[in-house]
Chains A and B, each alone.
Chain A
């Protein structure tokens, strides 16, 4: 990929038209959280437009101004790897944050289940399931919190391990499985509970958390492969 082709349109300046096209190609080459990607691409789009405008302001013809600007700025193929590295870390942090927040909420779900099921007809096996699932999620949350610290202020002192995105994706997947199994167990057990609306609500919360964490873990795997 050597950058977008040249095209002018009826609206906007030549620099803006070219920068829009460059930004579109760059955005399509990148993976990562939508907001972080949009912000980075928007910044770069403005930077390229200003570079082209500066060259045309010096009196260069449009074609030459664009060629100089892209040579200085870098083609999409040249700049995409450094952008992807940063977006991968952004996705890792996004997934880690989701896991860190989901684990305490999963504990709340199971607490509601055990509290309302006390004295009811809930099978012992179902009750016993609460502890390993909450434990797995807690370990995943602990790992995720470590990831947040390692990719935040500590990143100045410690190099980011190459395998961190993949490890975070697996931690997210583990937490997602725990949340999914919890959601199914809570939903299936709710009719047996003395206070079934509360247990059903806990199941719904676990299902929502499962969706958030699992999709974030999937995005993290995509970034790790990019």
Chain B
């Protein structure tokens, strides 16, 4: 899936991979790629400003974490972030159900004929 198609769903993807626990930027990107089995093309450089934006709007919080020689910013979901993720999931399920019901050629019971 092209980067342009992914862009509108970037916030939800980032929140989802942070649900199990805190991660730093590069690990967030690899988690998205791993979960999508490489199907999602992310312009990974744009993930960092998106993380900053999510932190500004109170969905994430972050702290510096020094591991070896590298100093990384580690992000985790806030309570507001968990609620926003739940809303994103509900909205996505409603959207895919609506589109699926149009695209799916299978006749619905009670509408035959």
Q: Which residues of A contact B (CB under 8 A)?
A: 36, 39-40, 42-44, 46-51, 72-74, 78-79, 82-83, 85-86, 89-90, 93, 151-153, 155-156
Q: In the complex, which residues of chain B have a beta carbon less than 8 angstroms from the beta carbon of A73? A: 43-45
CB distance from A97 to the nearest CB of B (A): 13
Contact B57 A72, beta carbon cutoff 8 Å: no
Known: A43-B25, A152-B56, A153-B57. A78 touches B71 (CB 8 A): no
Contact A46 B43, beta carbon cutoff 8 Å: no
Q: Mark B16-53, 1 if CB is under 8 A from A, else 0.
A: 00000000011001000000000000111111111111
Q: Which residues of B contact A (CB under 8 A)?
A: 25-26, 29, 42-53, 56-59, 70-73, 80, 84
- B interface secondary structure, majority: helix
Give CA–CA (A89, B55) in the complex, Å: 13
Q: In the complex, which residues of chain B have a beta carbon less than 8 angstroms from the beta carbon of A89? A: 53, 56
CB distance from A145 to the nearest CB of B (A): 16
The residue from B44, B46, B73 contacting A39, defined by CB atoms under 8 A apart: B73
Contact B71 A46, beta carbon cutoff 8 Å: yes
Contact A79 B56, beta carbon cutoff 8 Å: no
Contact A47 B46, beta carbon cutoff 8 Å: no
Contact A152 B57, beta carbon cutoff 8 Å: yes
Known: A50-B70, A152-B58, A156-B84. A74 touches B25 (CB 8 A): no
The residue from A47, A49, A86, A152 contacting B29, defined by CB atoms under 8 A apart: A47
